[in-house]
Amino acid sequence: MRDPNAVIYLVPGVGMLSFAKDKSTARIAAEFYVNAINVMRGAASVSRYVGLKEQEAFNIEYWLLEEAKLQRMPKPKTLAGRVALVTGGAGGIGQAIAARLMSEGACVVLADIDAQSLDAAVADFGKRFGKDAVAGVHVDVTSEPAVEAAFREAVLAYGGVDIVVANAGIASAAPFEDTSLELWNRNFAILATGYFLSARAGYRIMKDQGLGGAIVFIASKNALAASPGASAYCSAKAAEVHLARCLALEGAPHGIRANTVNPDAVLRGSKIWQGEWRAQRAASNKVSETELEEVYRQRSLLKLSVYPEDIAEAVYYFASDLSAKSTGNILNVDAGNAVSFTR
């Protein structure tokens, strides 16, 4: 037998539950069974419904042509059957990460505070990867009940969580003496606390599932390299890196890995780079806003621009079994910056 487990379970007083390798297969099986119910009802209205004999059903299911069709099916993708939650999933880097994970067969829950961008991203991904592969949940990562509710929604939608990407973020700049307590707290609330709450909610679910898991933090070059005029941001980013390492320690016995990706100067697609931050960075580099991308390219060792897809590739590595033997690691994706070399 290919699979001895039943796909459809009928629970009197509760309803019908369908189980399959992913959401779309389960949904299709359920739709077939609803049709079967209609056939049974029709049959019962004129006589008595009788199912196929087991041998007959077997002959259909294990027909040579059916076997040949199954053998020709493409191999399952590397993240097939896995569920990922990406915070800040409606942003530039978040959307690139979500697309990369979906292209490998994962189902992705985008969690974001920006409802408009979230709806647009979910609609777009639905068209590209199928509606069953993506869900959106509105969340403020600084709120404990909101983060808990978001993860509950993910579990209800897909049956669990295997990958958490903590990515929701902001950028801010201010000289140290002008850094208000409000600005300091805002950075820590979204970046440090937001990553903590998201990782903790995912970690608890992964521990209960007993299937391991991958937690990936999107920190920043500034987590390792101090940058003038951004002390609150840099310090909160450094807190994320160290939190990932603490998680790696405690998660290892459960097969839960925690790793960090450090981007730098990802201007394309990023909402951070559309606002005040861009003007401040241009002013501090004494160039116009349009020249900024070139400034960062020239500043890098490899003289290359970094794109959201480059960050997504590193996340895919840490989220998949390719990095099964890596935890507590940091991967800089910044086209090379000596100040952020890890030791």
Ligand X SMILES: NC(=O)c1ccc[n+]([C@@H]2O[C@H](COP(=O)([O-])OP(=O)(O)OC[C@H]3O[C@@H](n4cnc5c(N)ncnc54)[C@H](O)[C@@H]3O)[C@@H](O)[C@H]2O)c1
Binding stretches for ligand X (CB under 6 A): 87-88, 90-94, 112-114, 117, 139-142, 167-171, 190, 194, 218, 220, 263-266, 270-273
Taking CB positions, which residue lies at the least distance from ligand X? 91
Partners of 213 in the β-ladder: 256
- End-to-end Cα spacing for the chain: 53
Is 6 or 287 the residue whose CB approaches ligand X more closely? 287
For residue 256, count CB atoms less than 10 angstroms from its CB and return exposed for 0-12, middle for 13-18, buried for 19 or more. buried
In angstroms, give the least distance from the CB of 113 to ligand X: 4
∠ Cα 136 262 144 (to 5°): 40
In angstroms, give the least distance from the CB of 308 to ligand X: 7
Measure Cα distances from 224 to 299, 315, 324, 326 in Å: 17, 18, 25, 20
The Cα 203–Cα 6 span in angstroms is 30
Is 244 or 266 the residue whose CB approaches ligand X more closely? 266
In angstroms, give the least distance from the CB of 222 to ligand X: 7
In the set 158, 195, 233, 316, the catalytic residue is 233
Is 18 or 260 the residue whose CB approaches ligand X more closely? 260
Note if 296 is an active site residue. Answer: no
Is 83 or 121 the residue whose CB approaches ligand X more closely? 121
Written as one string, the DSSP assignment of 192-243 is IIHHHHHHHHHHHHHHHHTS-EEEEEE--HHHHS--TTBHHHHHHHHHHHHH
Written as one string, the DSSP assignment of 119-172 is HHHHHHHHHHH-GGGEEEEE--TT-HHHHHHHHHHHHHHHS---EEEE------
Partners of 10 in the β-ladder: 16
In angstroms, give the least distance from the CB of 90 to ligand X: 4
Is 113 or 199 the residue whose CB approaches ligand X more closely? 113
**Token reading at 124:** 């777009």
For residue 214, count CB atoms less than 10 angstroms from its CB and return exposed for 0-12, middle for 13-18, buried for 19 or more. buried
In angstroms, give the least distance from the CB of 330 to ligand X: 13
Q: What are the respective helix, strand and coil percentages of the chain, to the nearest 5?
A: 55, 15, 30
Q: Is the alpha carbon torsion for 261, 265, 271, 277 positive or negative?
A: positive
In angstroms, give the least distance from the CB of 261 to ligand X: 9
| DSSP-derived pairing of the beta strands 83-87 and 163-166 | parallel
Is 254 or 297 the residue whose CB approaches ligand X more closely? 297
Catalytic residue ranges: 233
